[in-house]
Amino acid sequence: MQTDSSFTFVLFGGTGDLSMRKILPALFEAHRAGGMLADSGKIVAVARHATDRGEYIEWVNKHVKPHVSKNGVDEAAWASFLERIEFVNIDLGKAEDFVHLRDAIQDLPGIRVFYLATGPSLFVPICHALASVGLNVNSRIVLEKPLGYDLKSSNAINDAVGEIFAEEQIYRIDHYLGKEPVQNLLALRFGNALFEPLWRREWVESIQITIAEELGVEARGDFYDNTGALRDMVQNHLLQLLSIVAMEPPHSMDSDSVRDEKLRVLRALKPIDPRDIGKVAVRGQYHAGVIRGTAVPAYATEPGVKPDSRTETFVALKVEIENWRWAGVPFFLRTGKRLADRVAEIVVNFRAVPHSALGASALRAGANRLVIRLQPNETIRLYCLAKQPGEGMNLASVHLDLAFDQFFREGQMEAYQRLLLDVINGRLALFVRRDEQEAAWRWVEPILNEWKASNKPPKPYASGTWGPAASSAMLAQHGTCWLEEEN
């Protein structure tokens, strides 16, 4: 992915956790690879927690360097990367301070990218301040989630930002869309004649999409207690992955063709009747438990969390898509904190053969399945049946692997690295369009409203497990189970 695109990358929230762990390490990896970033490209960090460039570089060396290059840091590359970095100290709450930013970047070349790695409450003030000093032209703006608390607040932010930046200037980022296996899912489906004829209701029995975390809310208790798993993970990451899995073949891979097809999926989601929410939606909250031998506290005792909190840290949903391709196929979505393992995966369960001439073993579970692992290791694995060596026709489940790190010699690109390069180069396909976001909020909002109206507490689950038993019971009603329960 070579580029000659000159750029000025302005990072608001330059000393924040996201900048430290993801954004600056991703930019360094692109710089270290050579040819991905134009030599003239500059990174301008904006923050209040440093007084000048020297202090900021000291902070970068201390806090960012440990997060880059798993196999050690190339010191020469690191030193040349630091030369790209400039720093501006401004108060984001004072529009008049943005004159200093304008003066600092007005003579720098190329497209301007403004990355808002801040809380959503600052999105609109920052955009207005940029416009007040003429920085909303020849520019792109990147908005991190969460973009609003509900449909109304999301629309309010989008309306305000849309008055200042055109839709084609706005990059709403969802880092799961930048992961290598998600890209390979598109290649698998639309580049291979083997899978596309099977990718429909006649041959698919069910689909599971899981994003599980071992970590709790860590230092994000104040934020998370006002958000919850449905807003934090389902409305964006899980529904975006669902739309990628279920979309029709796009006319081409240009940005609007891909996003048009994703939008059709989101608009085809079967609305959940509030009277049925107890049957198709499970919410839970983690209690104290043990993960990998270490005792961890209950959610309600985490810093920043209200002791009587009813915020969900776990959600499992049964989702249906009302169109010809997917009618009647259940999609099971699941996400949670303090679960038994850190994993993100898509499981496509194909139907068993209609009649087995090879005996009952040909109908066993564990075969006729495609597992797309997004994290921690990125692989695609196809399970099928094969004859065991020896006498008789005894079948066993075997798998075919596409392990990217073994098959391809070049290293994989991290999700943020790919997405940041797409912003710099003006590629919108992997970013969320406003109408997609609105469709997702419209589908999620009745669930939020019903949970609020009922005022029922989330179901408890012990940390280190796979969530409330009701999650497993929901799948059992459909004659299936979560992947890890099969054995």
> Mind telling me the catalytic residues?
237
387 annotated among ligand-binding-site residues = no
Q: CB within 8 A of 449, min separation 6: which ones?
A: 274
Per the DSSP assignment, residues forming a β-bridge with 386 are: 396
DSSP strand pairing (369-375 vs 379-387): antiparallel
Burial 150-182 (b: 16+ CB within 10 A, else e): ebeebbebbeebeebbeeebbbbbbbbbbbbbb
337 annotated among ligand-binding-site residues = yes
145 annotated among ligand-binding-site residues = yes
- Cα separation, 157 vs 439, whole angstroms: 16
- Cα separation, 190 vs 476, whole angstroms: 32
Determine contact, residues 184/192, Cβ cutoff 8 Å.
no
Under DSSP, the state recorded for 432 is: B
- State the virtual CA torsion across 73, 75, 78, 82 in degrees, nearest 10: 140
Q: CB within 8 A of 27, min separation 6: which ones?
A: 9, 37, 43, 81, 417, 420
| CA separation, residue 203 to residues 165, 206, 207, 321, 369 (Å) | 44, 9, 11, 16, 11
445 annotated among ligand-binding-site residues = no
70 annotated among ligand-binding-site residues = no
Omega before residue 460 within 30° of 0, cis:
no
213 annotated among ligand-binding-site residues = yes
Percentage helix, strand, coil for the chain under 3-state DSSP, each rounded to 5: 40, 20, 40
Determine contact, residues 367/383, Cβ cutoff 8 Å.
yes
Q: CB within 8 A of 26, min separation 6: which ones?
A: 414, 416, 417, 420
* 337: amino acid identity, one letter: K
- Cα separation, 427 vs 176, whole angstroms: 16
Q: CB within 8 A of 252, min separation 6: which ones?
A: none
Both tokens of residue 416?
């943020």
Determine contact, residues 41/7, Cβ cutoff 8 Å.
yes
* 82: amino acid identity, one letter: L
Per the DSSP assignment, residues forming a β-bridge with 395 are: 387
Determine contact, residues 162/155, Cβ cutoff 8 Å.
no
Q: CB within 8 A of 20, min separation 6: which ones?
A: 63, 64, 67
Determine contact, residues 127/161, Cβ cutoff 8 Å.
yes
- Cα separation, 144 vs 147, whole angstroms: 7
Indicate the annotated binding residues for NADP(+): 48, 91-92, 145
Indicate the annotated binding residues: 48, 91-92, 145, 175, 179, 213, 232, 337
Indicate the annotated binding residues for substrate: 175, 179, 213, 232, 337
